[in-house]
Amino acid sequence: MPGGEMDNGAGTIGGPGGGAPGLAPETLLLRRHFTGENLPQVRAQVEDTAAAAGLGGVRLGEFTLAVSEIAANAVEHAGGQGRLELRRLPHELECRITDNGPGFTPAIPELLPGLTDNCPGRGLWLAHLVTDRLTVTTDMTGAGAEVTLAMRLG
């Protein structure tokens, strides 16, 4: 959302029949537009919101770190801004980060990439390592990317 607006409401996504029988539909917990300038505040909001949704301990720290790495990638490589949506699903917490950058080849390194500027992919590798699910989708026209990461709850 432009200007760093956010929606902290418990907006329900999907409505009746939107999820598996007997399970609550997904709930939007946080929606933010971010830039390099407000990224520290967004990280804190993600951590607070994830904790309130039931993620705790080491898993909370890992999730916050993973979200931070992907958002920082959007700022660095995709025009200095992006959008973040945090949702509570029946059994997991999911964060979707999108941008309007040039897109990229979604290859996650198998091993820790080198520690030089010539070896990209450390943030993506780390996020993949500590989350339960990570997917990357790039717009076919090369205009933007979407990274979705999730941690199981419970």
9-13, 85-89, 106-110: which is most confident: 85-89
Mean pLDDT, the chain, whole residue set: 81
- Residue 144: predicted pLDDT: 87
Residue 51: pLDDT band (50, 70, 90) is very high
- Contact indicator for 123, 72 with CB cutoff of 8 Å: yes
Distance CA 99, CA 1 (A): 12
- Reported as a single tens digit per residue, the pLDDT across 59-102 is 999 999 999 999 999 999 888 999 999 999 999 999 999 998 88
Contacts of the segment 23-29: beta carbons below 8 A, 24+ positions apart = 23/90, 23/91, 24/90, 26/87, 26/88, 26/89, 26/90, 26/94, 27/87, 27/88, 28/85, 28/86, 28/87, 29/53, 29/86, 29/87, 29/88
Distance CA 116, CA 113 (A): 9
- pTM beyond 0.85: the answer is no
- Reported as a single tens digit per residue, the pLDDT across 30-47 is 999 999 999 999 999 999
Residue 121: pLDDT band (50, 70, 90) is low
Distance CA 130, CA 66 (A): 7
The number of helices, as runs of H, and strands, as runs of E, in the chain is 3, 6
Q: How far from 81 is each of 32, 38, 136, CA to CA, in Å?
A: 11, 10, 17
